[in-house]
Amino acid sequence: MRVLVVGGGGREHALAWKCAASPRVREVLVAPGNAGTATEPKVRNVAIAAEDTAALVQLARTERVDLTIVGPEGPLVAGIVDAFTAAGLACFGPNRAAARLEGSKAHMKDFLRRHGIPTARSATFTQATFDPDWVRAQRAPLVVKASGLAAGKGVIIAESTDEALASARAMFAGQFGQAGEEVVVEEFLPGEEASFIVIADGRHVLPLASSQDHKRRDDGDRGPNTGGMGAYSPAPVVTAAMHARIMREVIEPTVQGLAADGSPFTGFLYAGIMIAPDGTPNVLEFNCRLGDPETQPILTRLASDLTELCEAALAGRLDQVQASWDPRAALGVVIAAGGYPDGVRKGDVVEGLQAAAQLPGKIFHGGTRLEDGRVLTSGGRVLCAVGLGASVADAQRQAYRLAGAVHWPGMHYRRDIGYRAVARGA
Ligand code: AMP
Ligand code: GLY
pLDDT tens-digit readout, 273-310: 999 999 999 999 999 999 999 999 999 999 999 999 99
pLDDT classification of 402: cutoffs 50, 70, 90: very high
Q: For ligand 1, what atom is nearest to the CA of residue 282? A: 19
| Probe residue for ligand 1, chosen from 285, 286, 288 as the CB with the greatest number of ligand atoms within 8 Å | 285
- Nearest residue (CA) to ligand 1, atom 15: 284
* Shortest-distance ligand to the CA of residue 275: 1
Q: For residue 231, which atom of ligand 2 is closest to its CA?
A: 1
Ligand 2 within 6 A of CB of 294: yes
Omega prior to 264 cis, within 30 of 0: no
Q: Is 190 exposed, middle or buried (0-12, 13-18, 19+ CB in 10 A)?
A: exposed
| Contact between 143 and 103 (Cβ < 8 Å) | no
Homologous superfamily in CATH for domain 121-187: ATP-grasp fold, A domain (3.30.1490.20)
Q: How many whole angstroms from 109 Cα to the centroid of ligand 1?
A: 13
What residues form DSSP beta bridges with 206? 199
From CA 111, how far away is CA 252, in angstroms rounded? 14
- Ligand 2 pocket check for 292: Cβ under 6 Å: yes
**Which residue owns the Cα nearest ligand 2 atom 4?**
291
- Architecture of the domain spanning 329-423: Alpha-Beta Complex (3.90)
CB 177 within 8 A of CB 154: no
- Which of helix, strand or coil describes residue 74? helix
Task: Looking at the CA of residue 122, tell me the nearest atom of ligand 1.
Answer: 19
Intervals of CATH 3.30.1490.20 along the chain: 121-187
Span(s) in the chain for CATH 3.90.600.10: 329-423
CATH architecture of 2-95: 3-Layer(aba) Sandwich (3.40)
Query: Is the Cβ atom of 211 under 6 angstroms away from ligand 2?
Result: no
The CATH 3.30.470.20 domain(s) of the chain lie at 192-320
Distance from the CA of 249 to the center of ligand 2, in angstroms?
22
Instruction: With a cut of 80, say whether residue 153 has pLDDT above it.
Output: no
Residue nearest to atom 11 of ligand 1 (CA): 284
CA atoms within 13 A on the CB side of 164: 30
Mutate to test the pocket of ligand 1, among 275, 283, 284 (most ligand atoms within 8 A of CB): 284
Q: Which atom of ligand 1 is nearest to the CA of 120?
A: 19
CA-nearest residue for atom 5, ligand 2, is: 291
Give the angle subtended at the CA of 71 by the CAs of 6 and 18, to the nearest 5°. Answer: 85
Does position 174 have pLDDT exceeding 90, yes or no? no
Residue with CA closest to ligand 2 atom 2:
291
Q: State the pTM of this model.
A: 0.95
Please provide the size of the chain in residues.
426
Closest among 46, 93, 47 to 74, alpha carbons compared: 93
pLDDT above 90 coverage of the chain, percent: 91
Q: Put the strands of the sheet holding 230-233 in their side by side order.
A: 212-213, 230-233, 329-336, 381-389, 362-365
Counting from 1 in the atom list of ligand 2, the atom nearest the Cα of 285 is 5
Q: Ligand 1 site: residues with CB under 6 angstroms?
A: 120, 143, 145, 155, 186, 188-189, 193, 215, 225, 272, 284-285
CB 296 within 8 A of CB 365: no
The ligand with the least distance to the CA atom of 71 is 2
H and E: helices and strands count for the chain: 16, 22
Mean pLDDT of the chain: 95
Mean pLDDT on 25-48: 98
Band the pLDDT of 315: cuts 50, 70, 90: very high
Q: What is the mean pLDDT of residues 191-211?
A: 96
| Domain 192-320, CATH homologous superfamily name and number | ATP-grasp fold, B domain (3.30.470.20)
Q: 152 alpha carbon to ligand 2 midpoint, in Å?
A: 7
Angle at 353 between CA 350 and CA 354, to 5 degrees: 135
Q: How confident is the model at residue 225 (pLDDT cuts 50, 70, 90)?
A: confident
| Inter-residue contact 281 to 349 (CB < 8 Å) | no
H or E, element range at 298: helix 295-301
Where in the sequence of the chain do the CATH 3.40.50.20 domains occur? 2-95
Beta carbon of 102 within 6 Å of any ligand 2 atom: no
Tell me the pairing of strands 368-371 and 374-377: antiparallel
User: What residues contact 55, with CB distance under 8 A and at least 6 apart?
Assistant: 48, 49
User: In the chain, what's the furthest Cα-to-Cα distance?
Assistant: 61
Tell me the average pLDDT across 101-105: 88
Q: Tell whether ligand 2 has an atom less than 6 A from the beta carbon of residue 228.
A: yes
Judge if the beta carbon of residue 367 lies within 6 A of ligand 2.
Answer: no
Rounded Cα distance, 152 and 226, in Å: 6
Distance (Å) from CA 191 to ligand 1 centroid: 11
What whole-number distance in Å separates Cα of residue 182 and Cα of residue 282?
A: 22
Tens digit of pLDDT for each residue in 52-83?
999 999 999 999 999 999 999 999 999 999 99
Residue identifier of the C-alpha nearest atom 12 of ligand 1: 215
